[in-house]
Amino acid sequence: ERCYKIAVLPGDGIGSEIMAVTLDILQKLGQIYAINFTFSEALIGGVAIDQTGHPLPPATLELCRASDGILLGAVGGPQWDDLPSHLRPEQALLGLRSGLNLFANLRPAKVFPELVQASTLKPEVIAGVDLLVVRELTGGIYFGQPKGIFTSETGEQRGVNTMAYRASEIDRIGRVAFEAAQKRNKKLCSVDKANVLEVSQLWRQCINALVPEYPEVTLTHLYVDNAAMQLIRWPQQFDVMVTGNLFGDILSDEAAMLTGSIGMLPSASLGATGPGVFEPVHGTAPDIAGQDVANPLAQILSAAMLLRYGLSEAQAADALETAVAQVLRRGYRTGDIYTEGTQRVGCRGMGAQVAAA
């Protein structure tokens, strides 16, 4: 029996409901595949602010460091929106990323055949879309120095942030993307703004330098403005996209919304060594929290990514993803993806169906 210590950070809003359902499923899966999970829960986000004054308490980061993988729900909510920025729930995400050196963010945007009509795009444009955005997560303008609001000699305020990448940072995220492409459909599109930004020129140069090592992968480049258009014009053209932190933030959310069912989308944030963070793409949905109506599938699919990328338990990951696909085929839907003729279930109900499958 393999044993894994999993840090569990439900966070705010619907986080605890979708997490509870997911842990039950993992336990069940563990029994089948002879995997022993030890779950240890810790505070993060708004609840952590309320209870400790800090969105990412040191004890939480420590627990994460001592774990084999981290399952995260979601953080934030209106009641913490007016705090000074260093105390806001989002800081917990940035703190986890830099604290655990999670430089690679994997954001799949996959359209399930049963949910094609959930998209605002025409069915023939969105059907079959299955792309992966590989976003650099610990560099670029999110962390570059100098940054701040400064007062100039004339007394005028000036806001400054720095978008910077070292060659080695680009190289390592590039390798993650090439490797992902090699395991998928062997197409990689790198996104930058090399016609304007020097940092993008270095980006392009470093990505190009990897081509000889991955001869099976076809590499293309797009400017970020064009990429934002191509995702809408013809999303099926993409397999893997790789880009920096800021462009990845924008494009991965755009790609997610194309699918029309953001309650279905998981993500993984990985470092070179050490535990990764696995979390849904959606937010805390405070308006429906506590009502047992939230869609737990993004959280469940995040657990599948934990199994696959964090614990190398590919068999169990496959089983879990297959179960989700089956439940959709059988017609079970939470409110966010409900359409006439399907079977409406709540958060726990959906979890039970996945567990059964």
Task: Tell whether residue 86 is among the known ligand binding residues.
Answer: yes
- Per CB under 6 A, 258 contacts ligand IPM: no
**At its nearest, how many Å lie between a copy of itself and the CB of residue 79?**
16
The helix or strand, by DSSP H or E, that contains position 168, with its residue range, turns out to be helix 167-183
- Per CB under 6 A, 85 contacts ligand IPM: no
3-class DSSP state of 302: helix
Residue 274 neighbours by CB distance under 10 Å: 16
The answer to whether 336 is a known catalytic residue is: no
* Beta carbon nearer to a copy of itself, 164 or 211: 164
How many residues belong to the site for ligand IPM (CB under 6 A)?
A: 7
Q: Which residues bind a copy of itself (CB under 8 A)?
A: 85, 88, 90, 94, 120-122, 125, 141-142, 144, 147-149, 152, 156-168, 193-203, 224-226, 228-229, 232-234, 246, 249-254, 256-258, 262
Task: Tell whether residue 87 is among the known ligand binding residues.
Answer: yes
Of 249, 309, 332, 336, the catalytic one is 249
Whose structure tokens read 């062997």?
186
- Per CB under 6 A, 90 contacts ligand IPM: yes
The answer to whether 193 is a known catalytic residue is: yes
The span of 88-96, 151-159, 179-187, 316-324 binding ligand IPM (CB under 6 A) equals 88-96
- Per CB under 6 A, 173 contacts ligand IPM: no
Cα distance between the two ends of the chain: 23
Q: Which does 121 bind (CB under 5 to 8 A by kind): a copy of itself, ligand IPM, none?
A: a copy of itself
The helix or strand, by DSSP H or E, that contains position 150, with its residue range, turns out to be strand 148-151
* Beta carbon nearer to a copy of itself, 62 or 198: 198
Q: Is 114 within 8 Å of 329 (Cβ atoms)?
A: yes
SS (HEC) of 279-291: EECCCCCHHHCCC
Residues whose CB falls within 8 Å of the CB of residue 215, separated by 6 or more in sequence, listed in order: none
Give me the sign of the Cα torsion angle 285, 60, 139, 183: negative
The four Cα atoms 130, 15, 316, 173 give a dihedral, to 10 degrees, of 50
**CA–CA gap between residue 278 and residue 47 (Å, rounded):** 19
Of 4, 68, 110, 142, the catalytic one is 142
Q: Is 20 within 8 Å of 39 (Cβ atoms)?
A: no
**At its nearest, how many Å lie between ligand IPM and the CB of residue 183?**
24
The answer to whether 142 is a known catalytic residue is: yes
- Per CB under 6 A, 225 contacts ligand IPM: yes
Structure tokens that stand for 120 in this block? 């605002």
Point out which residues bind ligand IPM (CB under 6 A).
90, 93-94, 195-196, 225, 249
Q: Give catalytic residue positions.
A: 142, 193, 225, 249, 253
